[in-house]
Amino acid sequence: MAQLDAALDATDRIDALVTDLANVVTQRELVDAPEPVDLEAAFRSWGQSKAAPDTLEVVASRSILADKQALVRLADNLVKNSTEHGGTAVSMRLGTLEDGFYYEDSGPGIPVENRSEVFKPGFSTKADGTGLGMVSVEQIATAHGWDVTVTESDAGGARFEFTGVTDPT
């Protein structure tokens, strides 16, 4: 049964990636009709990870101007990355920055020498990784006009900072 669940999860993931690619090909963009979206709600609605949405600590949240589906896919990719590298017990935090937001975890982190490679297609530290999850995160951020940087969280895990984010008010 576990193998069937894993296969279904992989199929769902492939479907999401194909949908993203189809959107880019047909619409030439990953973002369609940005609207006010609550960060916390978007990050609690992920679907690709086995971690429960209530394992996310929200330090601060607010509404941002974003494509809701794209923001949920971004959250899916970040949470999936956290749990793949840190296990389902990894702690995750979401907070705001002056002109954006951050997502961080308590996992093993991303070594300094790999940080410039994280957003390159095919880069993965996992033997069975596709190297597409973080590429999707960067593409979604860029499509919104945001900058994304990766650094280290206070807990030693990965921290992704998204800046240049538009406030809908």
The answer to the question of residue 18 being in a domain is no
Least confident of 52-56, 126-130, 164-168: 126-130
Residues 106-153 have pLDDT tens digits of 988 888 988 888 877 766 666 555 555 688 889 999 999 999 999 999
The answer to the question of residue 8 being in a domain is no
The answer to the question of residue 120 being in a domain is yes
CA distance 75 to 73: 5
Average pLDDT, the chain: 82
The answer to the question of residue 75 being in a domain is yes
- Angle between helix 2-27 and helix 133-144 axes, rounded to 10 deg: 30
Query: Among all chains, which residue has been given the structure tokens 């923001």?
Result: 71
> Residues 93-118, buried b or exposed e (16+ Cβ, 10 A)?
bbbbeeebbbbbbbbebbeeeeeeeb
3-state secondary structure of 70: helix
Q: Which residue has the higher pLDDT, 131 or 34?
A: 34
pLDDT of residue 52 exceeding 70 = no
Structural domain span for residue 144: 33-163
Q: Which helix (H) or strand (E) holds 148?
A: strand 147-152
Domain count, the chain: 1
pLDDT of residue 26 exceeding 60 = no
Query: What CATH code is carried by the domain that includes residue 49?
Result: 3.30.565.10
